[in-house]
Structure formats: C-alpha cells, structure tokens
A = this chain, B = another copy of it.
C-alpha cells in the first residue's frame, strides 16, 4: 500500500481523486500497486466530498507523515506550489504535477533536488493534458536526436479559433462562449496571449535536449488580434488558423522558436486537431516525423496523466529514478527572432502607400496577390519560396500604418517528408 496526498483540490486535484476512485481496483490488479489518498490539503471546505474525512489545512500533517511517499501538487503558479514542492522533495517525497508554470520556471532546480534526494519529480500532465508526450519524448525517443517540435499545445485558443472558423464568430464572442463552457478561465490572458503554449513548448524542448530552454526567450504572440476577415482568407486559401508553438533546428546551437497564430495547410495532420484537442509533432533524426494527438485539457484527461505519474513514482520508491537533469543553457540559446525567416499572409490598405510596400517586398521575396475580402483592403501571401526575415517583415509591413493584419504561414522547410 502506497500512501499519497493531494495538495490543492481544484479541477485537476479533484479530478485526480476521481480517476483514482474510478480505476482504483483495476490499477491495483494491473500494476500490482495499491494506492491510497491519505490526505488532501486545501484551505476550502468540501463537506459533501466522498473523501471529506481526509482534508486538512495543516501542511505539516502531510510533510511530517513518513507514510506519505508521493504528493500530487495541483495548486498551480510559482508561489506556494514552489515552496511545497521543494519541501516535499527535500524530505524524500516524490512530487507529481500538472503545473507547467512551475516546471517551465523552476524545472532545473526542482529536478536537481529530486535527483539528489533519490525521489521523482514527474510532470506528464503539464503538457498536452492526458496525451502521453513527456515520457515518450524522454524514453521512447531517447535513441533519436529531436530536430523539430511543433504543435497545437493550448486547448482554449484552439477552441476559440475552431469556433471562429466554423461559425464565423469574432474573437470576443468565441472567448465568451469558451468561458461559459469552462474551456477558458475568467482571466484568460496566459492562454490567449500564448504564454501557456510557450511554457509547454519550453518544457518539451528541455526534455528533448537535456538543456533548459527558458520560455521567456521564445518570441510569443497571442490570438487576440486574429480577425474574422483573416479566418475567411485562410479558409478560402485551404488553410486553418491555429496557434502554433514551434521549435526547429533543435540539434543546432541556435534553434528557432516561436509561438504565434499561423495559417496551417489543411492537409497537415496537425490540422485535424480542433476544439480542445491538442496535436504535437516531433521529428527525430532516425524516426522522422511522429505525431501525438488527444485532449489537451480537461479534468479527467489531465488527471489520468497525474495518476499514471503517481503509479510510476510509487513503483520507483526505493529505486534510483532515472536521471532527468536540465543543464542551464550551456549549449543552446534561442536564435534572435529578428533573424528568423518568415512567410506570411498580410492584409494592407488599398492605397498607393501600400502598393509601395508591396514593391519593396517584391525586391526581397515573392508576393502573391490573393484578393480582397472587404472594401479598402487587399490580401497578399508573401515569402513562400524566397523568405524574408522577421526583422524585414517588421520594418516593411508591421511598422507601417498601411498594414491591417499579418498572420505567419506554417512551414517545416527542414524536412522533405510527406508529413507537413
């Protein structure tokens, strides 16, 4: 019998208890590992909860209980979650979490403390909800050098964009509906502005390389400026619009990384991920491209990944866990964003000044006129064959008052493979 505790009884915390209740017997039978939730720490009361007798407000009841070997940290954020995680690892308890903010910020330190104390710090649930991705990257792809990771890593923005595409709603309407259905938080900033996807990309990149990639080094753009006019252009041109998180040339010293809304070709397998589904493409130098797909958010999917990590941590008690250590940026630093190549869809005003911009772009790369969806504007696809740099894009297009909108076009030029 392994005794565990949950700290923070919100969506994922209570979901973990639910998955445990649902599959408890089966887990014992299949893994030979019997698990009991001994304590739950939360400042709120849950008098009607089936587990109400296990609640406590006193963290010491958990930390000083030698029977409790694994903690589920589902508090979130980098404040008290950080403090408790550190304390647990230092006192020889493994910690399992879905807290991507904490992993993306303090991952290297917490992994080091875990290794030094011969316990595990596991966070499969921090990326892709219930989709297996951390362990496959860490274990199954360990014979590969990973060259590219790109994907749809945030369910909230994917739900909003899917709704805009399908129903023609504008961003604000789609966001409000996402909030009503519980797919977006009341404060949706970290989802909508791309920070959440960026943290997840950084975690995956760190796992793939063994070097800590700081999410704050990755250029990140949210979806709040994507308009319904852009969506219509995309649709007519055979694309969908997705918030893409991408890192490439990951085997080099200066990989390119970006999080931004992009035009994604409809034939790309990634584009089958609509609504709250996530899809993550990983390309290895021996494996080639592979893709992982499933529900990237939600109570039970995410909690099922937490419980899988708990089982792993329990099975590994008294064993030296695998060495997962992230070096702090010794060998890798993200390339200066301005130097990266880009192709994009742009909308410009229907003006002489805008025509002048197009002339200038034409000197650098190719320009394709793709029509007008509204009066007083013109749409162009630029830089598909010969690209321009992000810096040139900014100087020529984004800084100009003639520019109405710009959305990058997804590309994976580093592969010749059939999978786009």
Does chain B have a CB within 8 A of A136? Answer: yes
Q: Please, how many angstroms separate the alpha-carbon atoms of A12 and B23 in the complex?
A: 38
Does chain B have a CB within 8 A of A412? Answer: no
Copies in the complex: 2
Query: Contacts A210-B29, A308-B142, A320-B319 given: A132-B301 contact, CB under 8 Å?
Result: no
Set of chain B residues within 8 Å of A19, measured between Cβ atoms? 143-144, 286
Q: Which residue of chain B is the closest to A143 with respect to CB atoms?
A: B307
Does chain B have a CB within 8 A of A241? Answer: no
Set of chain B residues within 8 Å of A286, measured between Cβ atoms? 19, 22-23, 130, 300-301, 303-304, 307
Q: Please, how many angstroms separate the alpha-carbon atoms of A25 and B26 in the complex?
A: 41
Set of chain B residues within 8 Å of A301, measured between Cβ atoms? 286-288
* CB-based contact B284/A418 at 8 Å: no
Flag A273-305 by CB within 8 Å of B: 1 or 0 each. Answer: 011010000001111111111110010110111
Query: Contacts A136-B140, A140-B136 given: A130-B304 contact, CB under 8 Å?
Result: no
* CB-based contact B294/A288 at 8 Å: yes
Does chain B have a CB within 8 A of A32? Answer: yes
Sorting the interface of chain A by its residue count into under 10, 10 to 19, 20 to 34 or 35 or more gives 35 or more
Flag A1-40 by CB within 8 Å of B: 1 or 0 each. Answer: 0000000000000000001101100110111100000000
Does chain B have a CB within 8 A of A209? Answer: yes
* CB-based contact A22/B285 at 8 Å: yes
| Closest Cβ–Cβ distance, residue A284 to chain B (whole Å) | 6
Does chain B have a CB within 8 A of A348? Answer: no
| Closest Cβ–Cβ distance, residue A414 to chain B (whole Å) | 17
Query: Contacts A135-B139, A142-B311 given: A294-B290 contact, CB under 8 Å?
Result: yes
Set of chain B residues within 8 Å of A308, measured between Cβ atoms? 139-144
Tell me which residues from 222 to 276 in chain A have a Cβ below 8 Å from any Cβ of chain B: 269, 272, 274-275
* CB-based contact B22/A290 at 8 Å: no
Set of chain B residues within 8 Å of A406, measured between Cβ atoms? none
Set of chain B residues within 8 Å of A288, measured between Cβ atoms? 130, 294-295, 298, 300-301
Does chain B have a CB within 8 A of A43? Answer: no
| Residue among A19, A32, A141, A308 with max Cβ neighbours from chain B (10 Å) | A308
Q: Enumerate the 4 nearest inter-chain pairs by beta-carbon distance, A residue then B residue, closest first.
A: A143-B307, A290-B294, A132-B140, A286-B304
Offer 19 A-B interface pairs, CB within 8 angstroms, sorted by A. A19-B143, A20-B143, A23-B144, A130-B284, A130-B286, A132-B139, A132-B141, A140-B308, A141-B304, A141-B308, A142-B312, A143-B305, A269-B293, A286-B300, A287-B294, A287-B301, A288-B301, A291-B291, A315-B323
Starting from the known contacts A131-B290, A140-B305, 19 additional A-B residue pairs (CB-CB under 8 Å) come to A19-B286, A23-B143, A23-B144, A23-B145, A30-B142, A31-B142, A124-B140, A130-B290, A135-B135, A135-B140, A142-B311, A144-B304, A286-B303, A287-B304, A288-B300, A290-B292, A291-B293, A292-B292, A292-B293
